[in-house]
Amino acid sequence: MRLEVFPTVEAARPDHLAGRAVVAVDVLRATTTVVTALAHGARGVWPAGDPAAAEVLAAGLEPGSFLKGGERGSFRLPGYDLGNSPLEYVPALVAGKWLVLTTTNGTGTIRLASAGRLALAAALVNGRAVGAWVAKTGLEVSILCAGTRGEFSLDDVLCAGQVVDAVVETVDGDVDSSDLARAARQLYLANRDDLARALRDTHHGRRLCQLGFTADLEHAARADLYQVVPVYAGGVVTAGAPLSPPP
């Protein structure tokens, strides 16, 4: 099995993704929000690249069946029901609902993951479940980190390392890991006992704390809180991964 990590979406060419299982990661905060929403009973999340695309997606859904979530500059978009804080996506609000979500970096990363044969979403809150599941597909794996506006983001690479560690522990045989995949795993193993501290020390984490989103960061650091394996197919992310991955 070949296992690669891409530090930003800009670093991955289409041929890096084609035919592979592609895992989209945006720990602070889009994939953490997606995973939390699905774990709390949302029917599915429709990721949109921008607010205009979100309006198109919303127009195709039955009124009353969905909520709109999104952010720019870390804050909720005007007129939206929710922002990009995973703590907003509580069961009382999202259970049984479709969600249309647009964020600065993460939702575009999820959409790009569809260039692969199989697209998934991971965060620290479910990374080991995703890694263990994707290891059983037999596919080569590309972990696609969102980054922050085209720049490397340490929080995403921490999660990539968590997924890599789970894959390596699950696969019965050698894993051909790229150098960055190996480095990401070592980074995760060195920080797994205090992921909240590690996230607070990142550039993005410090900024979120300064903006008042420390609780989001603490939630994002709760490794393996959920066993949800989100799959992106047909334009929507659902917790619909079968128990046995496809051949």
Cα dist from 223 to 18, 124, 189, 199, whole Å: 29, 5, 12, 12
Q: What is the rounded distance in angstroms from the CA atom of residue 186 to the CA atom of residue 194?
A: 14
> Alpha helices, DSSP H only, in 30-113?
30-39, 51-59, 91-94, 106-113
Domain boundaries, the chain: 2-232
pTM, entire model: 0.95
pLDDT in tens, the chain (247 residues): 999 999 999 999 888 899 999 999 999 999 999 999 999 999 999 999 999 999 999 999 999 999 999 999 999 999 999 999 999 999 999 999 999 999 999 999 999 999 999 999 999 999 999 999 999 999 999 999 999 888 899 999 999 999 999 999 999 778 999 999 999 999 999 999 999 999 999 999 999 999 999 999 999 999 999 999 999 999 999 997 654 544 4
Select from 47, 22, 9 the least CA-distant residue to 134: 22
Q: Which CATH class is domain 2-232?
A: alpha beta
